[in-house]
Structure formats: C-alpha cells, structure tokens
C-alpha cells in the first residue's frame, strides 16, 4: 500500500518563533508598522538563542510578515501587502486620477470601521485613541500637525473594531499614498484655523465613540473626511493631479 503519511517531527525553535509572531499579528497584538524589540531583547523575551531568532525573522520576512530595515530595525508589514501590490502602486504613479478612487475606498473602510468601533470599543481602545488626540493638542499649540499621530488616530479607530484585517488594509492604503500625503499636510498647517479644525473634528469623533453613538460617530467621520477632501480639491484644483489627503 502506498504510504501517504509523513513522519511527525518536533518543531524547530525557529518555527515556533515564526508561529508565535504570526499569531500575535493575527490577534492584533502586533500592529502594522509596529517595530519589534531589538534582537537581543526579543531573544530574551522569547527565551531563545539569537541564531534561532535570526532564522525565524528571515522566514517571516520571506513570507511577507515583517520588513527588515537597515539600521532601523524589524517592522510588521501589513498582511494586505500582497493584495494591494506593486502593480497598483505603478498605476497610481502613472494615473493620478486613480488616487481619488483610493481615497473613496479609504472612506468606505473608515466609515464602516467607526460604526463598528463605536459599538464594540473597550476602555483600552478609548485610551489609545485619546493618546493621539492629546499629542495633537500639544502640536496644535505650535500650529503643527503631526502626520504620524493623525494616521495613528485613524488606525486606532480601525483597531477598536477588533478586526485585524481592517487595520492592515487601511495601513496599506496609507502606505500606498504616503508620498502624496505630505502635500496636503503642508498646505493645511500653513493656516492655524485648519489645524484647530482638524483637532476639533477628531475630538468630536472621539466623544461619539466614547458614547457608543454609532450613527453620530459615522456622520462625524464622514463630515471630517469630506472636509479634508474639499480642502484637497481647493488646493489642487483639478481631479487629474490630486494627491491623497492624510488628515
């Protein structure tokens, strides 16, 4: 009789590491863009040797779960990267009008996300969202707008839905539009009223999530994203050359 079975062998340490990191990503405990601890620290936390850890990280990079950046460290990649890949990036570079369609997709995801987040959010989720608002409050005093805090605010809302795929896909959209984001941010922060408007909109969104007001939260997010879109159109003028707005 033909043997269709393979002998079971114990997992290598590196395979155990790979499985644990993948589980942390799947469970949302490691977020897209998050930096892993330094090699020595991570090896100690896992209780493994550095050679086994290096082997595991190389496997994770080959599988597309992490990215190794020279002199910067190891970062979690959005698991949606293979879905939204280089061909789309090339299309966006060649046809700027498609950036508007990407923004429409972002709006669809964020409006659905905030509706769910307002229902299922936890105290931990609220604390995470509020942290970025506090950071933006400090920046607003100097008429500044932190791109990082703004994006993290939106990702924190997606994270509050407890659907890790939603977070990863949204992060991938942000990454795709990254080279165009600075344009709108630089335009907006030239006028302090714009910075204060964004902060006020974010605060109202947070309060609606806190109150579990699903419809109100969705309406406020729609109003916020539409406001940014209108500013974007005013800055650029024509649809064909639109960059993606970040706030």
CATH number, domain at 50? 1.10.10.10
> Tell me, what's the pLDDT at 238?
44
Domain boundary among 76, 104, 119: 76
Domain boundary among 76, 99, 118: 76
Number of domains in the chain: 2
Residues 96 and 43 placed together within one structural domain of the fold = no
Burial class for 168, CB neighbours closer than 10 Å (0-12, 13-18, 19+): buried
Task: Give the range of the structural domain holding residue 221, as residue numbers without chain letter.
Answer: 86-241
Of 224, 109, 95, 101, which is closest to residue 171 (Cα–Cα)?
109
Q: pTM of this prediction?
A: 0.74
Per-residue CA distances from 165 to 47, 132, 158, 239 (Å): 29, 22, 9, 30
The per-residue DSSP string of 56-108 comes to: HHHHHHHHTSEEEETTTEEEEPPTTTTTS-HHHHHHHHH-TTHHHHHHHHHHH
Structure token pair of residue 82: 């293979």
> Tell me, what's the pLDDT at 108?
95
**Calpha distance 137→115 (Å, rounded):** 25
Contact 135, 145 (CB under 8 A): no
> Tell me, what's the pLDDT at 121?
96
Structure token pair of residue 78: 């959005």
Structure token pair of residue 98: 């498609």
**Per residue of the chain (247 residues), what is the pLDDT tens digit?**
566 556 656 678 888 899 899 888 888 888 888 899 999 999 999 999 999 999 999 999 888 889 898 888 999 988 766 555 566 667 766 676 777 888 899 999 999 999 999 999 999 999 999 999 999 888 887 777 777 888 899 999 999 999 989 998 998 888 887 666 666 766 776 677 888 899 999 999 999 999 999 999 999 999 999 998 888 777 766 444 444 555 5
> Tell me, what's the pLDDT at 122?
96
**Calpha distance 16→51 (Å, rounded):** 14
Dihedral angle computed from the Cα positions of residues 83, 84, 88 and 89, in that order, rounded to the nearest 10 degrees: -140
Domain boundary among 35, 56, 76: 76
């Amino acid at each position: 009789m033909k043997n269709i079975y393979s002998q079971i062998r114990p997992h290598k340490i590196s395979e155990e590491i790979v499985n644990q990191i993948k589980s942390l990503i799947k469970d949302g405990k490691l977020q897209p863009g998050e930096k892993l601890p330094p090699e020595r620290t991570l090896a100690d936390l896992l209780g493994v040797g550095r050679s086994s850890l290096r082997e595991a990280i190389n496997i994770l990079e080959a599988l597309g779960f992490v990215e190794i950046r020279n002199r910067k460290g190891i970062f979690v990649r959005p698991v949606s990267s293979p879905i939204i890949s280089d061909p789309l990036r090339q299309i966006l570079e060649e046809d700027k009008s498609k950036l508007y369609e990407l923004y429409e997709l972002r709006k669809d995801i964020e409006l659905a996300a905030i509706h769910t987040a307002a229902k299922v959010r936890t105290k931990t989720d609220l604390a995470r969202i509020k942290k970025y608002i506090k950071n933006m409050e400090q920046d607003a005093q100097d008429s500044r707008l932190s791109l990082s805090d703004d994006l993290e605010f939106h990702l924190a809302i997606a994270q509050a839905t407890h659907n890790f795929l939603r977070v990863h896909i949204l992060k991938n959209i942000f990454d795709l539009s990254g080279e165009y984001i600075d344009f709108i941010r630089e335009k907006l922060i030239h006028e302090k009223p714009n910075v204060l408007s964004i902060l006020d909109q974010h605060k109202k969104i947070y309060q609606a999530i806190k109150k579990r007001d699903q419809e109100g939260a969705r309406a406020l997010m729609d109003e916020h994203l539409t406001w940014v879109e209108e500013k974007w159109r005013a800055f650029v003028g024509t649809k064909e050359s639109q960059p993606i707005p970040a706030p």
